[in-house]
Amino acid sequence: MTTKTNPTACLLVIGNEVLSGRTQDANIRFLALGLGEIGIPLREVRVIPDVAETIIATVNECRARFDHVFTTGGIGPTHDDITSECIAVAFGVPWEPHPVAWARMEASYKPGEFNAARQRMATMPRGSNLIDNEISVAPGFTIGNVHVMAGVPRIMQSMFRHLAPTLAGGPPIVARSVHALRLAEGVIAEGLTAIQAKFPALDVGSYPYYRPSGNGVAIVAKGNDPAAAEAAIAEVTQLMIACGATPIQGEPPEA
């Protein structure tokens, strides 16, 4: 699906609470869809702990492999919010008060309330550009090709809406889909292989589903060529018919 005109992205979900199961990540789907709209396919997601060595090594590995690296989590005021200072180490720059963020945050608190914990949220790698949001005064930031955002979904989403217009993307990623009840993957697997080979620039995915109304399979074709995606799904539709199924355009309803 990715072509020379589409930059690539990786998401690092940072937080022990996600790995422990206490918190269910709600940002991956939002970010994947939002990036697809501006032509930046999300190619990898990693969930990593609040461990400095892991954050530093993973950021450095991923920023060398992908055009954009997004992080969520670890930029709050508590002792385990270490993402920002780890990014500074990864880039080899000082972690210091950001003059604009510091002034904004200091002005938003009553005298004496802008304490050391809150000051951490205005301390960033030198050279960072702020990512604003409408939900809270504490910003995220961008340095190089790394975009550091909050883990709280509403704040992250607001940050991404501010960030997205500044990102150099490519042709939007489009998706076309068809599904059929009472059709097993094994029945159409060989035919799907042939269709994928015919449309190598697309990602043709097969997704079985299980519903009270019956089980089935959905096929999704994704890429940056709408005509190719539509042509591939047309061939999948004919394949389903040939296998005795009744295709239904679009995604199956949620359970």
For the segment 225-251, what is each residue's pLDDT rounded down to a tens digit?
Answer: 999 999 999 999 999 999 999 999 999
- Evaluate if residue 3 carries a pLDDT over 80: no
Report pLDDT digits (tens) over 146-196: 999 999 999 999 999 999 999 989 999 999 999 999 999 999 999 999 999
pLDDT score, position 213: 74
**pLDDT, mean of residues 42-68:** 97
Residues near 125 by Cβ (< 8 Å), separated by ≥ 6?
84, 87, 88, 91, 93, 94, 95, 141, 143
- Evaluate if residue 1 carries a pLDDT over 80: no
pLDDT score, position 2: 45
Q: What is the mean pLDDT of the chain?
A: 94
Report pLDDT digits (tens) over 94-134: 999 999 999 999 999 999 999 999 999 999 999 999 999 99
Give, in order, the Cα–Cα distances in Å from 64 to each of 57, 105, 145, 205. 11, 33, 9, 28
pLDDT score, position 211: 82
pLDDT score, position 4: 52
Question: Which of left, alpha, beta for 197 (phi over 0: left; psi -120 to 50: alpha)?
Answer: alpha
Q: Tell which residue, 175, 167, 112, 118, has the closest CA to residue 145.
A: 167
**pLDDT, mean of residues 45-68:** 97
- How far apart, in whole angstroms, are the C-alpha atoms of residue 45 and residue 26? 13
Place of tokens 């359970």: 255
Q: Return the C-alpha torsion angle 30, 33, 34, 39, nearest 10.
A: 160
- Evaluate if residue 199 carries a pLDDT over 90: yes
- Evaluate if residue 24 carries a pLDDT over 90: no
pLDDT score, position 120: 96
